[in-house]
Amino acid sequence: MAGTTSMRMREALNAALREEMQRDESVFLMGEDIGVFEGAFKVTEGLMKEFGEARVRDTPISENTIVGAGVGAAMAGMRPVVELMTVNFSLLAFDQIINHAASIPYMFNGQVRVPLVVRMPGGGGHQLGPTHSHSFEAMFLQIPGILVACPSTAADGKALLKSAIRDDNPVVFIEHETLYGMRGEVPDDEDVTLPFGHAAVRREGEDVTIVGILKMAHEAERAAKTLSEDHGIEADVIDPRTLRPLDLDTILESVRKTNRVVIVEEGWPHGGVGANLAALIQEQAFDYLDAPIQRVTGADVPMPYSKRLEQSAIPHPEHIVSAVLETTAGAK
C-alpha cells in the first residue's frame, strides 16, 4: 500500500513535472530562467540536467512569444508546460491565451486541440511590488475555453498539475508565491491525479460556510479555528481547488446546511471571484440564506511594496472572523 512523503509545494510541483515528462515524451517545458537557473521559485530544479535542453527550454523575455510557441506546439501534438515568471507578466500574453489557446478548438470545430499548461505564480506577501504580486484569478475565470486551477496544498498541487498536463484543454495553473515553501503530505503513487471541478471541504461545521481561494483557504482554516475556540461558531471551510470548472454543488450543499456564507480572496473586490460566487449562490440558494453574503477581499489598490502596507492590503484571519461575526450576529 502506497504511503505519503512530506514535501514543500515547489517539490510537489517539481515531482509532477518530472513524472509526467518521464511518462510522456511529448511533455516539455518552456519559460524564462527555468533551465540553467532552475526557475525563479526553483520549481524546475534538476529537470534540465535530467531531460536536456530540448525538453527544458530557456526562452527570451517575451511572454507573448513564449505562450504563442506553446500554442503552436500544442496544436502540433506536443504537451508544452509554459512557465511565466509571475501572473502579472501574463498580461503580455493575453492575446495568445484568450484569442488563440482558448478559441482555436472552437474556431477549428474541435478538429484541433490545444493541450497547453501555463503555470504562473501570483499573490502578495513577498514585497515584490505591484507588477509581481497581483491575483488575477477572476480575469481567467471569465474566459470560456480554458480551465483554471488554484491549488493550496502540496498534494493538490501535484495531483492537479498532473491532471492539467494530461488534459486536452488549455489550463491556466495559478500558484501562490507564499505557498511554495509550505509542507504537506503527498501520496507516493505516481498515478494519483485530481479531477478538475472537485472542491475540498477542509473543515466541517454547522454555522457558516467559508470559501477560501488559494492562500486564503489556509487563512480561512485559521479563522475557523479561532471562531470555534473563542466564539463557539463552527464553520464549513471549502477550498474550490479549481475555478473553471467550479464545484458549485459542494458550495451550495454547504450553504443549504449553514445558511450563511463568507467568501475570501486576495484579489480585488470589483468583479472578483467572490463577486461571481456570491451571484451564483444568490441565484441558486437564495431561499436558504439567513443573512447577506459577506466578501473578504484584498484592498482595492495596486499591491504596495512597503511590507506594512502590503500586509494591510491582504486579508488575514481577523478579517474573516469579523465577517463571520457580522453574518452570524443574532443567530445564537
CATH number, domain with residue 293: 3.40.50.920
CA distance 296 to 320: 7
Shared-domain flag, residues 295 and 174: no
Query: Is position 72 within any domain?
Result: yes
Shared-domain flag, residues 219 and 76: no
Amino acid 267: pLDDT = 96
Place of cell 472552437: 106
> pLDDT digits over 152-196, tens only?
999 999 999 999 999 999 999 999 999 999 999 999 999 999 999
Q: What is the DSSP letter of 189?
A: -
Shared-domain flag, residues 26 and 136: yes
> pLDDT digits over 275-298, tens only?
999 999 999 999 999 999 999 999
Query: Is position 228 within any domain?
Result: yes
Shared-domain flag, residues 115 and 225: no
Shared-domain flag, residues 181 and 207: no
Query: Is position 16 within any domain?
Result: yes
Last residue of a domain, one of 187, 208, 235: 187
Shared-domain flag, residues 55 and 102: yes
* pLDDT for 1 beyond 60: no
Query: Is position 102 within any domain?
Result: yes
> Is 100 among the catalytic positions?
no
Out of 132, 134, 176, 218, which one is annotated catalytic? 132
> Is 234 among the catalytic positions?
no
Q: What's 63's domain CATH number?
A: 3.40.50.970
Query: Is position 51 within any domain?
Result: yes
Shared-domain flag, residues 159 and 295: no
CA distance 201 to 185: 17
**How many structural domains are present in the chain?**
2
Query: Is position 192 within any domain?
Result: no
Peptide bond into 245 cis (omega under 30): yes
> pLDDT digits over 220-241, tens only?
999 999 999 999 999 999 999 9
Which structural domain range is residue 141 located in? 4-187
Out of 11, 20, 38, 63, which one is annotated catalytic? 63
CB 124 within 8 A of CB 310: yes
Last residue of a domain, one of 158, 187, 216: 187
Query: Is position 193 within any domain?
Result: no
Shared-domain flag, residues 183 and 317: no
Place of cell 503530505: 185
Query: Is position 195 within any domain?
Result: no
Shared-domain flag, residues 170 and 251: no
At residue 317, the 3 state secondary structure works out as helix
Amino acid 329: pLDDT = 87
